Amino acid sequence: MNTYKSGDRIILHIDVNSAFLSWEAAYRLQHGATLDLREVPSVVGGDEESRHGIVLAKSIPAKKYGIQTGEVLWQARRKCPDLIIVPPDYSLYMQCSTALNDLLYEYSPLLERYSVDESFLDITGTLGKRNPLDIAREIANRIRTVLGFTVNIGISSNKLLAKMASDFEKPDKVHTLFPDEIPKKLWVLPVRDLFMVGRRTAPKFYRLNIFTIGQLAHTDPKFLRAHLKSFGNLLWQYANGIDTSPVNPFRPPAKGIGNSTTTSFDVDNEREALLFLLSLTETASSRLRAARLLAQVVSVSIRKTDLTFFSHQRKLLTPTDNTERLFKVARALFRELWDGAPLRHFGVSFSSLCNDRFYQTSIFEDEKIYRKKSLDSSIDTIRLNYGKTSVVRGSFINSGIPPLTGGVIDDYPGMRSLL
DNA sequence: TCTGGGGTCCTAGGACCC
DNA sequence: TCTGGGGTCCTAGGACCC
């Protein structure tokens, strides 16, 4: 029952079932635990004390209580009083992700790591005479027995359909969604289930009397364009299973590097606000230097206690990776932005990135920049060798504010919203 | 007691240029 | 003096993804 044509590509989308939770469960079992977190109502959740308390991943039994990813933990606990909550361990997830991708790579070099727990694999050239379903089942079986967790695998002739297929019945399932299966398997689904139809777009469709992916697929694209601009066109194509994006094994260079944090208390004074911004600038700029990049745009964002969000950005005359220079801009932006209302969240991010080896210099370039550069790199080196807290700015001492905030694990797979 | 943190892309309006 | 038109750049905000 091969429903694919000989000229088509064969793309697999591999999606780890409840990734963070499964990985925690597998790790604990391998280290002597007797309880499998996947078999009881459980979640991976942030620290409530510091206001990071949301559900990051849930077990299937937890889902049966109506618990949703992104939900606040006290609400989840109200739905299920016996809920087990475990803290996240991102370095473990990174190791599991790498092990998964090493295994996938045995089946094709055309492997795209879409996120920490999702990958695309183009097996067109390595398939030979084998049936793609058999290969997918073999991959899933090996992941389960060798690595100790389960995946869903979607099979189709493009990435969009493969991704939609992996989202069908879970866990530990292989599904196909070839073009001739679209009416039966895709069009019957609610429009909200289509990739890129989020919480704001779905209600727009409901108002236009579009409730299923099939209805969207049969709507005049000109009508969609009138309501949703080019996004309408894209979604019409997705609803019809059209996607020509290739599986790209090369990660494109980052377009922006930033860090943000929700503070453990409301910040109502400039001194503390600026310390948080400095703390974020320290980590974000050291990531910039580690990647050998310079930034020409600095942006600062804040969130008030009512969760409203504001941001300001500024383009610099010349790109830089210098902590002090970047912080001065961030500070100016913050002062423009802030009206004095208490804040619960801060963000600093850098964009318009360029390579640090060749860049346009300005005749106004500060001569002292070379000394500042060597200071930054010395601090980076000391922190790398002796730990992050080995060098700390005096202003943070006794401030109750962490001197370095945010930061990602090296090589954490970048995520993107588009295929 | 409200909702993390890392990203990408798109749009609209204003400034400015020719 | 009474309002063109095309283009680029910059900025703020909003949508989506995992």
For chain A, the maximum distance between any two Cα atoms, rounded to a whole number of angstroms, is 71
Classify residue A383 by burial, with Cβ atoms within 10 Å: 0-12, 13-18, 19+: middle
Is the domain of A172 the same as that of A197?
Answer: no
Q: Structural domain tally of chain A?
A: 3
Helices A369-386 + A323-337 axis angle, to 10? 100
Contact A300, A347 (CB under 8 A): yes
Spell out the residues 6+ positions from residue A184 whose beta carbon is closer than 8 angstroms to its own: none
Residue A416 lies in a domain: no
Condensed to tens digits (0 to 9), the pLDDT of residues A14-38 reads 999 999 999 999 999 999 999 999 9
pLDDT of residue A338: 96
Q: Which nucleotides of C are covered by protein (CB under 7 A)?
A: 9-18
Verify whether residue A118 is a known catalytic residue: yes
Classify residue A367 by burial, with Cβ atoms within 10 Å: 0-12, 13-18, 19+: exposed
Is the domain of A231 the same as that of A181?
Answer: no
CA-CA distance, A14 to A111, in Å (whole number)?
11
Is the domain of A170 the same as that of A193?
Answer: no
Is the domain of A181 the same as that of A209?
Answer: no
The helix or strand, by DSSP H or E, that contains position A408, with its residue range, turns out to be none
Through-space separation of residue A245 CA and nucleotide C10 C1' in angstroms: 30
Which residues bind near strand B, taking a CB cut-off of 7 Å? A 46, 51-54, 56, 69-70, 72-74, 229-231, 254-262, 287, 306-307, 345, 347, 349, 351, 406-408, 414-418
What nucleotide is nearest A301 when CA is compared to C1'? Answer: C12
Is the domain of A78 the same as that of A111?
Answer: yes
Residue A296 lies in a domain: yes
Residue A280 lies in a domain: yes
CATH of the domain at A219: 1.10.150.20
Q: Which residue has the tokens 């050998």?
A: A292
* Long-range contacts of residues A80-83, Cβ cutoff 8 Å, at least 24 apart: A80/A41, A82/A41, A83/A41, A83/A42, A83/A43
Is the domain of A126 the same as that of A217?
Answer: no
Is the domain of A169 the same as that of A261?
Answer: no
Condensed to tens digits (0 to 9), the pLDDT of residues A181-230 reads 999 999 999 999 999 999 999 999 999 999 999 999 999 999 999 999 99
CA-CA distance, A278 to A284, in Å (whole number)?
10
Is the domain of A1 the same as that of A137?
Answer: yes
Tokens, residue A252: 């494109």
Is the domain of A227 the same as that of A303?
Answer: no
CATH of the domain at A73: 3.30.70.270
Condensed to tens digits (0 to 9), the pLDDT of residues A244-275 reads 999 999 999 999 999 999 999 999 999 999 99
Q: What is the pTM of this model?
A: 0.92
- Beta strands of A11-71 (E only): which ranges? 11-16, 42-45, 55-58
Is the domain of A212 the same as that of A347?
Answer: no
Through-space separation of residue A222 CA and nucleotide C6 C1' in angstroms: 26
Spell out the residues 6+ positions from residue A202 whose beta carbon is closer than 8 angstroms to its own: A191, A192
CATH of the domain at A381: 3.30.1490.100
CA distances from A135 to A205, A307, A355, A398 (A): 38, 47, 41, 58
CA-CA distance, A348 to A413, in Å (whole number)?
20
Q: State the number of CA atoms in the 13 A half-sphere of A394 facing the CB.
A: 0
Count, in order, helices (H) and strands (E) of chain A: 12, 12
Is the domain of A112 the same as that of A225?
Answer: no
What nucleotide is nearest A352 when CA is compared to C1'? Answer: C10
- Cα A4 from chain centre: 32
Through-space separation of residue A318 CA and nucleotide B15 C1' in angstroms: 21
Residue nearest to nucleotide B8 (CA to C1'): A416
Determine which one of A24, A112, A118, A282 is catalytic: A118
The pLDDT of A32-57, averaged and rounded, is 95
Condensed to tens digits (0 to 9), the pLDDT of residues A283-312 reads 999 999 999 999 999 999 999 999 999 999
Which residues bind near strand C, taking a CB cut-off of 7 Å? A 114-118, 195-202, 297, 299, 309-315, 336, 415-417
Domain that holds residue A171: 1-186
CA distances from A83 to A22, A76, A188, A353, A386 (A): 16, 8, 34, 44, 39
Is the domain of A266 the same as that of A345?
Answer: yes
